[in-house]
Amino acid sequence: MVRPRPCLGRPFENILQKHLKYERLFASGQPFSDNQSMSTKTAIATTKAPAAIGPYTQAVRVGNFLYTSGQIPLDPASGQIVSGGIAEQTTQVLENLKAVLESAGTSLAGVIKTTVFLKDMNDFAAMNAIYGKYLAPEGTVAPARSTVEVARLPKDSLVEIEVIAAL
């Protein structure tokens, strides 16, 4: 016989939620404190990726997650779009993201979600071949992904990618 669960009341539910939060944090192996807040934002920046041009940062850390801004195929040294087609541009975008992720203490292996913006969906196969080498090598779990075609990207690039990673 299944007994109905008694209503434990709001105070107990709050305590239970806090306990479950600490269990998850402890299991993750990440350092934490009682005053750790999921709403605290920390800017992440590196000179190994193109500097933010405008009122945004290369990435923001919130709790145990990293949210990157979209990266386009800018060479960090020259500030110019790399020459070549979609393969070369996708490679540069992923190298830029790799640098941002590493500056935050994670890597491409920590990426759990990506959003890919393509100027032309006909470039999908070529972009996907490079993307797979970086984000879905043999034996790994590929991140979730959305891919959309857009009318135009900054500096007329062919691709832009943003990611969410676990820290």
Which CATH class for the 37-166 domain? alpha beta
Entry pTM: 0.78
Q: Cβ(38)–Cβ(62) under 8 Å?
A: yes
- Positions in the chain whose pLDDT score sits under 70: 1-38
Average pLDDT, the chain: 87
Angle at 111 (CA atoms; ends 134, 55), nearest 5 degrees: 105
